[in-house]
Structure 1
Amino acid sequence: MNKQTSNPIAQKSKKWFIDALLKLMKKQPYKEITVKQLSKEAGLDRSTFYRNFDSKEDILLLHLRDISEEYIDKLRPIYQLDMEKQASIFFEFFNENRSLISLLHQNDLSILLLDVHAASAAPSAG
C-alpha cells in the first residue's frame, strides 16, 4: 500500500520511483524488475522504497490514481456535460496515456485500471 504523506521530499521520491518503474517497464517485463533495480534507477536507497511502498504494484496504483484524479478534474468544471464533450475528454485522456496503458497491457496488468476505477467510483464512508 502507498504510504500517505504530505512531506515534499517523500512526494518527490514517489515521483522518482514512478518514473523509474515506467522506464524499466519499457526495457523489461514488470515481473523481472527488482526493488534493487528500481531503487538504482530512481537514484534512491531501497529503504526509501520500503518507507513509501509495500510493493511495485503500489507504485503503479499510485500513478493510476493520480492520472484518474486528473481525468476527473477535467470533467468536474463542466456544469452540463454533453455526450460529445464527455467523449472528447475521454478519448483525449486515453490518447495522452496510451503508452502507460500499453505497458500495463503488455505486462498483464490491465486489471489495475479497473481496480483504480472501481475504488474511485465507490461511495466514500463517512
Structure 2
Amino acid sequence: MEPYFATLKKQTDFYIAKAFYECLEQNIPLNITTLCAQAGIGRRTFYRHFSSVDEVFQCCIASLFSEYRHTIRPLKNYNIEQIAKEFFGFWETKKRELRLLGRYDEAKLSALLFEDGVSLIKERSDDRFHLFSVYSAGGFLGLLNWWIAEDFHMPVQELIVQFVQETENIFSKDIS
C-alpha cells in the first residue's frame, strides 16, 4: 500500500494538472494565482509540488508519455504498420490535451514531444536497430507535430494508411 503522503501528492498533482487544462480550455490567464484558485489549493501547496506554471506544463506532457509507455507492447520485429497504429491510435485519444498544451506553448510542446518521444522509442527498440529507431522516432514525432499543427484534420485511419503506403513505397524502391 502506498504511503499516505505519496497518495496525497499524486492527488494534489492531479488537481493542479486538471486546473491547468481547465484554465487553458476556458482561456483563463495562466499564472500561479489563477491556477491555485482553479485547483482549490493555496500557493504554499502549489510550491510544494511545482516551482512554476511551466513545470506543470512539463508534468502534463510527461504524464501523457507515461500513459503511452504503459499502453505499448514490446516489439518483436519492426512492423511499421503496427507501430503507426499504436502510436497514432494512442495520440488520437489525447487530441484534447494536445490542443490545450499547444495553446499554452506550441514550440515547447513540439520540443518536449520530440525529447520525450525519442527517449521512449530508444527504450523500446532492439539494440540491433538503435540508430534506425532514433531515425524513425524523429519521423513519427515530426508527423505527430504536423498532425497537431493541422489540428488533426486528417482522420487517424487515413493518416496511418497513407503513412504506411508512402513508407513502403520509399523502402521498396532502389533509391539511387
Equivalent position of 1:42 in the other structure: 39
* Structure 1 Cα separation of the partners of residues 62 and 47 of structure 2: 19
Q: Displacement, 1:117?
A: 3.6
Q: Are residues 1:16 and 2:15 paired?
A: yes
The one of 54, 62, 68 aligned to 1:65: 62
Equivalent position of 2:51 in the other structure: 54
Letter of the structure 2 residue corresponding to residue 100 of structure 1: E
Q: 1:92 to 1:118 in 2, by over 3 A?
A: same
Q: Displacement, 1:72?
A: 2.5
* Structure 1 Cα separation of the partners of residues 40 and 102 of structure 2: 27
* Structure 1 Cα separation of the partners of residues 107 and 100 of structure 2: 9
- TM-score (structure 1 length as normaliser): 0.78
* Structure 2 Cα separation of the partners of residues 86 and 120 of structure 1: 13
Equivalent position of 2:153 in the other structure: none
* Structure 2 Cα separation of the partners of residues 98 and 120 of structure 1: 16
- Tell me which stretches of 4 or more aligned residues in structure 1 moved more than 4 Å: none
Aligned pair count? 117
* Structure 1 Cα separation of the partners of residues 89 and 117 of structure 2: 20
In structure 1, stretches of 5+ residues that fail to align are 1-5
Letter of the structure 1 residue corresponding to residue 46 of structure 2: F
Q: Displacement, 1:43?
A: 1.3
Q: Displacement, 1:69?
A: 2.0
In structure 2, stretches of 5+ residues that fail to align are 123-176
8 A Cα contact 2:32 2:53, kept in partner: yes
Give aligned-pair identity as a percent: 21
Structure in which a larger fraction of residues adopt helix: 2
Equivalent position of 2:163 in the other structure: none
Equivalent position of 1:108 in the other structure: 105
Equivalent position of 1:83 in the other structure: 80
- TM-score (structure 2 length as normaliser): 0.58
Larger-Rg structure: 2
* Structure 1 Cα separation of the partners of residues 54 and 76 of structure 2: 35
| Of 109-118 and 80-89, the range deviating more from structure 2 | 109-118
Equivalent position of 2:174 in the other structure: none
Instruction: Determine which structure has greater relative contact order: mean sequence separation of CA pairs < 8 Å that are 6+ residues apart, divided by chain length.
Output: 1
1:64-86 alpha-carbon deviations (Å, 9 max, x no partner): 11211222332343433511111
8 A Cα contact 2:25 2:100, kept in partner: yes
8 A Cα contact 1:68 1:117, kept in partner: no
Aligned CA-pair RMSD: 2.4
